[in-house]
């Protein structure tokens, strides 16, 4: 049976120039490289320059993905941009990106599901394509989490970084089997009872300030492993596949220990997991497309590979996607 699939035709990323090694935090905090690496796997992260906006990062990642796809911005008819660190309260960062790209038609909007943002954005883009609302969609995760850090809180500020990643999805006809290229299944979840274990203590309606990130790390960690594994398994089941079929897992890059424990729970060995957390830190919604792009440029993931992505973040919101590259 012929079906419409959302097929990746390009991928790209951008990291701000400034690289901050773990040792730098020890200059003003009671922390060290050894603790950060042992507990998180993070060695360094990138921070945006003063005046460098989320839309600037998104623009560079979008240009990289357009180049990879061999198309121009006018060939795109929608932008879905996942971010929790928009340039402004409104308009959306997606419409700012649309203007920067010189794309004067179609539609663009932001989507906010924190670290699960890219899984949500890919699912929305897939639905738009399958429903015939758009033919080519630029899906972006872009963040400047350095703008919402409490630099005196060693339990959070060493964990996050800035960056952007982009994937272009195109409507193509498939056979309706798991041999098709493109998105094969999506699984989204949220549970608002856990709002207060990972949040930002400011906002438009509450404080009229931006606020800083607060996290009960140990609590989030506990939820992360079980929820990621269960969502990954559900996505595989929906696609009629098992962990053995997966070529690569591209997990949200928050913590190497979460990545390892989740892989073990799903039953996939570490040599099939793409890991970039050591170089990027946690870039929230940008982490999966960044990892995808890095793995693609290295030749690690190849056309027709079967990929599983999974992510969790504030909300709590989490999800997983199975796609054939
Ligand atoms: O992407 C969104 C989802 N977020 C996550 O996935 C994050 C989930 N959580 C985590 O990754 C981990 O819980 C952390 C990396 C945040 C923390 O690791 P942990 O093994 O859970 O450590 P902990 O919170 O249990 O803290 C252990 C100790 C504490 O000291 P005491 O109370 O034992 O004396 C902390 O104060 O480590 C201390 N500590 C630090 N020490 C040196 C916390 N942060 C630091 C630090 N440097 N930066």
Q: Give the DSSP letter string of 207-237.
A: TSB---EEE-HHHHHHHHHHHHHHHHHHHHH
Q: Which residues pair with 160 in a beta bridge?
A: 282
Say yes or no: 38 and 141 in one domain: yes
Q: Of 321, 244, 307, which Cα lies nearest the Cα of 273?
A: 307
Residue at a domain's end among 174, 198, 233: 174
Q: What is the pLDDT of residues 63-109, one digit of tens each?
A: 999 999 999 999 999 999 999 999 999 999 999 999 999 999 999 99
Task: List the residue whose alpha carbon is closest to atom 21 of ligand 1.
Answer: 218
Strand pairing class (136-144; 44-47): unpaired
Residues 91 and 204 in one domain: no
Please tell me the distance between residue 218's alpha carbon and the centre of ligand 1 in angstroms: 7
Q: How confident is the model at residue 1 (pLDDT cuts 50, 70, 90)?
A: confident
Closest C-alpha to ligand 1, atom 8: 221
Distance 319 CA to ligand 1 centre (A): 23
Percentage of residues of the chain with pLDDT beyond 90: 100
Domain count within the chain: 2
Q: Which atom of ligand 1 lies closest to the CA of 40?
A: 15
Q: What is the spatial distance between Cα 241 and Cα 306, in angstroms, rounded to a whole number? A: 10
Do residues 192 and 311 both lie within one domain?
Answer: yes
- Please say which residue of 174, 207, 229 terminates a domain: 174
Are both 210 and 163 inside the same structural domain?
A: no
* CA–centroid distance, residue 153 to ligand 1 (Å): 11
∠ CA 123-129-133, nearest 5°, is 120
Whose C-alpha lies nearest to ligand 1, atom 25? 218
Does ligand 1 come within 6 angstroms of the Cβ of 253? no
160 with 186, same domain?
no
Q: Is 35 in the pocket of ligand 1 (CB under 6 A)?
A: yes
Q: Are residues 138 and 222 in the same domain?
A: no
Ligand 1 atom at minimal distance to the Cα of residue 154: 48
Residue located nearest, by CA, to atom 18 of ligand 1? 39
Same domain, 275 and 134: no
> Are 298 and 282 contacting, i.e. CB atoms less than 8 angstroms apart?
no
Question: What's the pLDDT at 176?
Answer: 95
- Residues belonging to the active site: 115, 252, 282
Task: Please state whether the predicted TM-score (pTM) of the whole model is above 0.95.
Answer: yes
Q: Are the C-beta atoms of residues 141 and 313 closer than 8 Å to each other? A: no
Q: What is the mean pLDDT of residues 151-180?
A: 98
- My answer on whether 272 and 237 are in the same domain is yes
Distance from residue 194's CA to the centre of ligand 1 (Å): 18
Do residues 99 and 149 share a domain?
yes
Task: Of 32, 90, 83, 94, give the one whose Cα is nearest residue 59.
Answer: 94
Q: What mean pLDDT value characterizes the chain? A: 98
Among 174, 197, 228, give the residue marking a domain's end. Answer: 174
70 and 93 both lie in a single domain: yes
Angle at 105 between CA 291 and CA 85, to 5 degrees: 40
Does the C-beta of 221 come closer than 6 Å to ligand 1? yes
Whether residues 166 and 206 fall in one domain: no
List the beta strands (DSSP E) in the chain. Answer: 3-14, 18-21, 44-47, 78-82, 107-111, 136-144, 162-174, 182-190, 198-200, 213-215, 248-251, 306-313, 317-324
Say whether pLDDT at 307 is over 90: yes
The verdict on the CB of residue 158 being under 6 Å from ligand 1 is yes
pLDDT at 110: 98
Let me know whether 232 and 164 are in one domain. no
> Ligand 1 within 6 A of 107 CB?
no
Q: Supply the range of the domain harboring residue 244.
A: 182-324
Q: Provide the pLDDT confidence category of residue 274 given band limits of 50, 70 and 90.
A: very high
β-bridge partners, 169: 8, 137
Helix 93-101, helix 54-69: angle, nearest 10: 50
**Mean pLDDT (whole number) for 229-234:** 97
Closest CA to 164 of 40, 291, 41: 291
- The beta strand positions in 233-286, using DSSP E, are 248-251
320, 309 contact by CB (below 8 A)? yes
119 Cα: distance to centroid of ligand 1 (angstroms): 25
Which three-class secondary structure state does DSSP give residue 11? strand
Which atom of ligand 1 lies nearest, measured to the CA of 25?
48
CATH number at residue 223: 3.40.47.10
Query: Does the beta carbon of 31 sit less than 6 angstroms from any atom of ligand 1?
Result: yes
């Amino acid at each position: 049976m012929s079906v419409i699939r959302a097929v990746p035709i390009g991928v790209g990323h951008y990291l701000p120039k400034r690289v901050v090694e773990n040792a730098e935090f020890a200059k003003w905090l009671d922390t060290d490289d050894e603790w950060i690496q042992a507990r998180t796997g993070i060695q360094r992260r990138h921070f945006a320059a003063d005046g460098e906006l989320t839309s600037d990062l998104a623009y560079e990642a979008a240009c990289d993905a357009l180049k990879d796809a061999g198309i121009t911005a006018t060939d795109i008819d929608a932008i879905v941009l996942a971010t929790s660190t928009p340039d402004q309260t409104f308009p959306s960062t997606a419409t700012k990106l649309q203007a920067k790209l010189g794309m004067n038609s179609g539609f663009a909007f932001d989507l906010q599901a924190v670290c699960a943002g890219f899984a949500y954005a890919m699912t929305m883009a897939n639905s738009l394509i399958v429903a015939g609302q758009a033919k080519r969609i630029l899906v972006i995760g872009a963040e400047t989490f350095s703008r919402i850090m409490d630099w005196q809180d060693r339990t959070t500020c060493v964990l996050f970084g800035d960056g952007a990643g982009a994937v272009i999805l195109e409507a193509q006809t498939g056979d309706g089997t798991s041999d098709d290229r493109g998105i094969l299944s999506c699984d989204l979840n949220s549970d608002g009872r856990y709002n207060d274990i990972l949040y930002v203590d400011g906002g438009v309606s509450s404080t009229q300030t931006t606020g800083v990130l607060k996290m009960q790390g140990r609590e989030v960690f506990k939820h992360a492993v079980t929820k990621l594994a269960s969502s990954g398994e559900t996505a595989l089941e929906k696609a009629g596949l098992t962990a053995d079929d997966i070529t690569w897992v591209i997990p949200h890059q928050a913590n190497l220990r979460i990545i390892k424990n989740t892989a073990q729970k799903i039953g996939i060995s570490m040599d099939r997991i793409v890991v970039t957390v050591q170089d990027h830190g946690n870039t929230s919604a940008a982490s999966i497309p960044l990892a995808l792009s890095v793995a693609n440029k290295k030749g690690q993931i190849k056309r027709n590979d079967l990929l599983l992505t999974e992510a969790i973040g504030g909300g709590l919101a989490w999800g997983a996607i199975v796609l054939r590259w």
